[in-house]
Amino acid sequence: MQDYTSLAQEHHGLFITFEGGEGCGKSLQSRMLFDWIASFKDAVILTREPGGTNLSENIRNWLLVGNINSWDPITEALLFLAARSDHWFKKILPALKAGSFVICDRFQDSSVVYQGMCKGVPLDILDKIYLKITGGRYPDRTYLLDIPPEVGIKRSISRRNNNETRFENMDIEFHKKVRSSFLKLARHHSGRYLILDGNLSPDEIHKKIKEDLIQQFRNIFS
């Protein structure tokens, strides 16, 4: 049996993820955090899911473009996990092992919420595959940007400059469920999560994230 704890401890970098519903502002916040950390540390990468490697960006295209019913939930979940596996082994894990900071726009919790809690894929299947991929390494800190879906979808549509509309086009009830599921998950993992009000200005949110990181990881950010 794999010793997940010791495996997890072998990975030295800092792993930070952003989560939230459509148009919550997490991509902007990931970028702002990256720019801030890069101003004093060379070893930091900004990446995203689905995506981050050539294969995973191709899978992203299958997943996010087209009709909302293109994939059944299990197929969809396996595609997200396939993309995550390639991303983990080729990009995230090597960076963490090298002591780098990794900032990732969405990660496994998006699969737990969208495919698991909202589309009914059994959570134990998602967890087992995740454990097999990562050896039980979870993000060190996760920021949930919480925003009413009506506001987020409007923002998302007005800013979109591509055809990745498959999830955006799901109905408002689905997006309400996404919001409440993220809040539930974040409260369940309250040691790892900070919930932020996505209605605040980008600068205010960024300030809170910086303060939180400095407080959480004093030894690294002093």
Q: Which residues bind ligand TYD (CB under 6 A)?
A: 22, 27, 49-50, 64, 80, 105-106, 110-111, 114-115, 156, 167
> 44 - beta bridge partners?
101
Least separation in angstroms between CB 194 and ligand TYD: 18
Q: How far apart are the C-alpha atoms of 78 and 130, rounded to whole Å?
A: 11
- Residue 40 CB, nearest distance to ligand TYD (Å)? 27
The rounded distance, in Å, linking the Cα atoms of 142 and 131 is 18
Min dist. Cβ of residue 218 to ligand TYD (A): 30
CB-nearer residue toward ligand TYD: 167 or 221: 167
- Residue nearer to ligand TYD on the CB measure, 13 or 21: 21
Q: Which two tokens stand for residue 59?
A: 């899978």
Nearer to ligand TYD, 86 or 105 (CB): 105
Q: Least CB distance from residue 106 to ligand TYD, whole Å?
A: 4
- Given strand 44-48, what is the order of strands in its sheet? 44-48, 101-105, 14-20, 141-146, 193-197
Q: Which is nearer to ligand TYD, 41 or 189 (CB)?
A: 189
Number of H helices, E strands in the chain: 11, 5
